[in-house]
């Protein structure tokens, strides 16, 4: 049986380095550098960027300039601009900002949810209903994406039941989210788990399962993406240079690296629209700004295979 024949022909890498990456790094990157990052990522062909988070600046000073970044990003043609919002207050800022989409994180692990969001998962579902009402009342077209985190287990609680992940995913949609994503927040997923959960989730909600979000904490990030691709999901979050990490796993890497993921997809002839050489040049620039921080990814060291450019993508 030919598994590879089931792979999608196109995929989207949503750049979340400016949000998930930078929020894990203590230093505050100047707004001018973030703007240059967004500009260059767009020029390299990236078409979805999560530029920041509407959380109180005292909690995450690294992301305090999110509204300004949304405003700049919206000047770039064809760019879909998203932000993370933890609650109704953040959602109202997102609506005002003019972003195209907001991701509302929910942690399927009750323990993780209480520790990180100070709400139970079902309280987050209730908040999404308020967010939906606010969105509709404002006449805004901003898309609401429910992001189900710790979907493969949690460093505090341990096991997270698949049935609970699926229940919360459905509850988010029922509460008014337009779509959902599934996240391996702490790097516990393996390809078989991904295959199982994503197949079930797709069977339940189809294309409203929008995106996979994998951390590479234990080296399985790209294998997990491949497993998800086989279920038909073709949108993935990633961070340039794999920046970010997890406070519960010191030294561990963050999201899958955008450039390694772009290479894997391009090698498999899955079109992302990304110019990998341009993305590697941007990586070098960002690495300079983040001098001293832990960066990840492998492609930047080895370079593209000699064979890659011999294989043009079908139109």
Report DSSP letters for 192-222, one per residue: HHHHHHHHHHHHHHGGGEEEEEEB-TTS-HH
The whole-angstrom separation of Cα 39 and Cα 52 is 15
69 binds its own copies (CB under 8 A): no
182 neighbors 165 (Cβ within 8 angstroms): yes
Q: Which of residues 131-170 bind its own copies (CB under 8 A)?
A: 153-155, 158-159
Whichever of 30 and 303 has its CB closer to its own copies, that residue is: 303
Helix (H) or strand (E) holding 145: strand 143-149
- Which of 8, 45, 176, 191 touches its own copies (CB under 8 A)? 191
CA atoms within 13 A on the CB side of 116: 23
The whole-angstrom separation of Cα 165 and Cα 120 is 13
Reference 132, options 181, 86, 170, 175; nearest CA is 175
251 binds its own copies (CB under 8 A): yes
Give the nearest distance from C-beta 177 to its own copies in angstroms. 27
260 binds its own copies (CB under 8 A): yes
Reference 243, options 196, 291, 210, 306; nearest CA is 291
- Which of 186, 201, 241, 279 touches its own copies (CB under 8 A)? 186
Q: Which of residues 4-43 bind its own copies (CB under 8 A)?
A: 4, 6-7
- In angstroms and rounded to an integer, the radius of gyration of the C-alpha atoms of the chain is 18
291 binds its own copies (CB under 8 A): no
Give the nearest distance from C-beta 228 to its own copies in angstroms. 11
227 binds its own copies (CB under 8 A): yes
279 binds its own copies (CB under 8 A): no
Helix (H) or strand (E) holding 17: none
Interface ranges with its own copies (CB under 8 A) = 1-4, 6-7, 153-155, 158-159, 186-188, 190-193, 195-196, 199, 216-220, 222-223, 225-227, 230, 249-253, 257, 260, 263-264, 267-269, 297-299, 301-303, 305-307, 310
């Amino acid at each position: 049986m030919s598994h590879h024949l089931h792979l999608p022909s196109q995929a989207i890498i949503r750049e979340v380095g400016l949000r998930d990456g930078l929020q894990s790094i203590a230093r505050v990157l100047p707004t001018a550098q973030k703007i240059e990052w967004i500009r260059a990522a767009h020029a390299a062909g990236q078409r979805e960027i999560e530029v920041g988070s509407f959380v109180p600046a005292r909690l995450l000073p690294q992301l305090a300039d999110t509204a300004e970044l949304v405003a700049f990003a919206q000047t770039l043609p064809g760019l879909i601009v998203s932000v993370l919002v933890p609650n109704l207050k953040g959602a109202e800022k997102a609506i005002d900002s003019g972003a195209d989409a907001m991701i509302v994180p929910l942690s399927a692990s009750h323990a993780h949810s209480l520790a990180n969001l100070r709400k139970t998962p079902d309280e987050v579902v209730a908040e999404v209903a308020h967010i939906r009402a606010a969105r509709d009342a404002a006449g805004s077209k901003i898309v609401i994406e429910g992001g189900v985190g710790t979907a493969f287990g949690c460093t505090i609680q341990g096991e997270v039941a698949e049935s609970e992940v699926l229940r919360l995913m459905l509850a988010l949609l029922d509460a008014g989210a337009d779509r959902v994503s599934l996240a391996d927040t702490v790097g516990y997923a393996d390809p078989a788990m991904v295959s199982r959960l994503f197949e079930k989730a797709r069977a339940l909600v189809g294309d409203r399962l929008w995106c996979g979000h994998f951390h590479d904490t234990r080296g399985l990030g790209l294998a997990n993406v491949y497993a998800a691709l086989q279920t038909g999901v073709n949108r993935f979050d990633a961070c340039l240079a794999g920046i970010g990490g997890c406070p519960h796993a010191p030294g561990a890497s963050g999201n899958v690296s955008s450039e390694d993921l772009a290479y894997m997809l391009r090698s498999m002839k899955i079109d992302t629209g990304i110019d990998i050489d341009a993305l590697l040049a941007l990586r070098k620039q960002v690495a300079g700004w983040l001098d001293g921080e832990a960066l990840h990814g492998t492609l930047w060291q080895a370079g593209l295979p000699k064979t890659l450019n011999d294989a043009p993508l079908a139109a």
